[in-house]
Amino acid sequence: MRVVVAEDLYLLRDGLVRLLEAHGMQVVAAVESGPELRQALIGLRPDVSVVDVRLPPTFTDEGLQAALAARREIPGLPVLVLSQYVEQLYARELLADGTGGVGYLLKDRVVNAEQFIDAVRRVAAGGTAMDPEVIAKLLATDAVAKPLGRLTPRERDVLELMAEGRSNAAIAQRLFLSESAVGKHIASIFNKLELVPSDDDNRRVLAVLAYLNQ
């Protein structure tokens, strides 16, 4: 798997490269600024890229902008965005084009290497990986809470994990349920939220977020 890494702090960049390579991925470019990232994304077309939001030269959301620009040019180009903090606003922008293959995680999540690598793979495969903090914020909003009030606590747990981008199997494992029980919960959620069910991980999340976004 060919990966592009964009991170301006040397220590973190080095750590990321080593972590990814340790899991059998090939880092084709490790860049430290927005323009370089744009070039690498469009020139190298990596299978997935791990991008820091804030990059030189402006130290604003240069990384996010480069990723969004590249995805406009190459729809569905898998991008996993990392940041010191998460904003619903950015999550919505990433998900807006509806082509999937996006992730948005707190930098802290790198500490849990397995989960992080899992997220990288999921994004590379065209799925999504949303940070639980984003999901929590989305669900906390009052406008959303009302229709979600119809869900049982268990269904809510399932929905949260679903929104993070987890597969049925992963949800089953996390909640100590059988996979078929998870399937039933999901069908019930879609039913209550009046959404058409689908097998596709990515479309599932998009449907959930589209619903939350309304």
Partner 1 sequence: MTRFLLAPARALVLVVFAVVGSAVALVLVTLLALIVTYPMTVVVARRLAELGRRLAQAWGGVAIDEVRLPVPAQPVRRADGWYEHDNQLYRSARVPAFMLKVEAYSKDATAIRDWIWLVATPVTGGLAAALSPLLVGAGVALAAGWLLPGLPTAVAIGAGIAVVVAGFAVGPAVLRVYGLWTRELLQPAHRSWWRRSGFGPWLGRAMKRTWNGAGLAGMALGALGLLALQLVFAVVSWGGLYPQAVQITRPYLDYYRRRAADWTGREYPQPYRPLPAPPLPDETGKYRAGRTLYQTQEAAVRAQRYGWIFTDPATWRDLLWIVLGVPVSVAGFLPALLVGFGLYGLVWQPIVWAPWGIPVGLATGEWVTPWYMGYLFAAVAPPLAAIPGWVTPFLGVVMTGAGLLLAGPLLRLRGAFDRLLLTPTRSTLLAQRVRRLSETRADAVDAQAAELRRIERDLHDGAQARLVSLGLSLATAEQLMERDPEAAKKLLAQARETSATALAELRNLVRGIHPPVLAERGLGDAVRAVALDSPLPADVTVDVPGRLPAPVESAAYFATVEALANAVRHSGAARVRVDIRYDAGASASGVLRITVTDDGRGGADPARGTGLRGVQRRLGTFDGTLSIESPVGGPTVLTMEIPCVLSSPRTSTS
Residues engaged in binding partner 1 (CB under 8 A):
53-54, 56-61, 83-85, 87-90, 92, 108, 111, 137, 140-143
Tokens standing for 34?
């927005």
Nearer to partner 1, 84 or 198 (CB): 84
Nearer to partner 1, 26 or 58 (CB): 58
ω before 57 within 30° of 0 (cis)? yes
Nearer to partner 1, 1 or 69 (CB): 69
Least distance in angstroms from the C-beta of 190 to partner 1: 24
What is the rounded (10 degree) CA torsion for 169, 175, 177, 178? 0
Q: Are 88 and 117 in contact (CB under 8 A)?
A: no
Least distance in angstroms from the C-beta of 112 to partner 1: 8
Nearer to partner 1, 2 or 211 (CB): 211
Nearer to partner 1, 90 or 104 (CB): 90
**Residue (of 196, 199, 193) closest to 214 by Cα position:** 193
Helix (H, G, I), strand (E, B) or coil at 67: helix
Helical axes 10-22 vs 113-124, angle rounded to 10°: 80
Nearer to partner 1, 54 or 156 (CB): 54
Q: Cα(39)–Cα(171) distance, rounded to whole angstroms?
A: 37
Least distance in angstroms from the C-beta of 92 to partner 1: 8
How open is the CA angle 13-16-21, to the nearest 5 degrees?
Answer: 125
Fill in the amino acid letter for 73: E
Least distance in angstroms from the C-beta of 180 to partner 1: 32
What is the rounded (10 degree) CA torsion for 68, 74, 78, 84? -10
Least distance in angstroms from the C-beta of 89 to partner 1: 4
Q: Which residues contact 142 (CB under 8 A, 6 or more apart)?
A: none
Least distance in angstroms from the C-beta of 119 to partner 1: 16
